[in-house]
Amino acid sequence: MNRPFALILLTLANLFHLTPAKSQDFNTLLDIPEGATLVSLSATERVEVDQDLLVANLSIETKNTDAKALQNEINTIMTKALNAANTVKTVKASTQSYHVYPHDYNPDPRPLKTGEKPEIIREWRGSQGLMLKSKAPDDLLKLTGVLQEMGMNVTNLSYMVSPELLEETQNNLLEAAITKLKAKAQRTASALDKTKVSLLNINVDIGGYAPQPMMMARGMAMDAKMEMAAPVAAAGQSEITLSVNAQAMIK
């Protein structure tokens, strides 16, 4: 459990007078104090949140029979791309994996004659990726169009919930889920004609959320003479869930 959740649990424990878990676990009926009932309860909260962070993945992919020339081409384009990205203050850019490898092939497709050896050509292939993130989508999309003009291809374009908004939302859900859990415990006690409730062994499952990516074809080639339009993207929503469960000691 991360620090923000630990602090919230401590605050809520003081607010709701929750009884902390004792050294023993009530796993059998013999462990339960006389006149008490042990009940397992859970509560889940969920909310739809507007996605606020746009992420673009681009790459430069090329091939050459000369490994040095290939790497020089990748390095040159990536340097220009980073320089362009660094001028847009609202966009955070980071390089991704750099991969260079040999590919041997026979350029002559005809069947070989008896005793004839194939002509093998070694070709070098390489790629490097670049990731862009921004809460200013118009700036990122414009920059992406510029990088496409440089020869980079968009491999993925997707909206997601930013880490800051995700943590804020999870904190709010945690408070609501524990309030719901406490209310369930009180209703259970009332149904059993009991009045005292203590919540023990509270566990938090922060769950997760599923972004809605807008995939673009990998390695899409464009005619150098064709005018390149900047990509477009529309934000959606992500469902964020959080669950808590606990044992309720009812007397």
| Contact (Cβ atoms closer than 8 angstroms) between residue 202 and residue 174 | no
Return the closest-CA partner of residue 132 out of 121, 118, 142, 119: 142
Return the closest-CA partner of residue 199 out of 245, 137, 144, 236: 245
Query: What is the reported pLDDT for 108?
Result: 81
Q: Residue 119: how many CB atoms within 10 A of its CB? A: 10
**Complete domains list, the chain, with CATH:** 3-50+163-209+241-250 (3.30.110), 53-160 (3.30.70.360)
User: How do the pLDDT tens digits run along the chain, 251 residues long?
Assistant: 555 554 455 444 444 444 444 434 545 444 677 788 888 999 999 999 999 999 999 999 999 999 999 999 999 999 999 999 999 999 999 999 999 999 998 888 788 777 778 888 899 999 999 999 999 999 999 999 999 999 999 999 999 999 999 999 999 999 999 999 999 999 999 999 988 998 888 899 886 555 544 444 333 444 445 566 778 888 889 999 999 999 888 98
Q: Which two tokens stand for residue 1?
A: 């459990």
**Dihedral angle at the C-alpha atoms of 83, 85, 87, 88, nearest 10 degrees?**
180
Q: Which two tokens stand for residue 169?
A: 């939302």
**Dihedral angle at the C-alpha atoms of 67, 70, 72, 74, nearest 10 degrees?**
-140
Query: What is the reported pLDDT for 3?
Result: 53
| Contact (Cβ atoms closer than 8 angstroms) between residue 152 and residue 131 | no
Query: What is the reported pLDDT for 136?
Result: 96
SS3 (DSSP) at 121: strand
Q: How many Å apart are CA 192 and CA 250, to the nearest integer? A: 9
Contacts of 139 (CB under 8 A, 6+ apart): 88, 90, 91
Q: Residue 63: how many CB atoms within 10 A of its CB? A: 12
Query: What is the reported pLDDT for 117?
Result: 81
Query: Which value, in Å, is the radius of gyration of the alpha carbons in the chain?
Result: 29
Query: What is the reported pLDDT for 88?
Result: 97
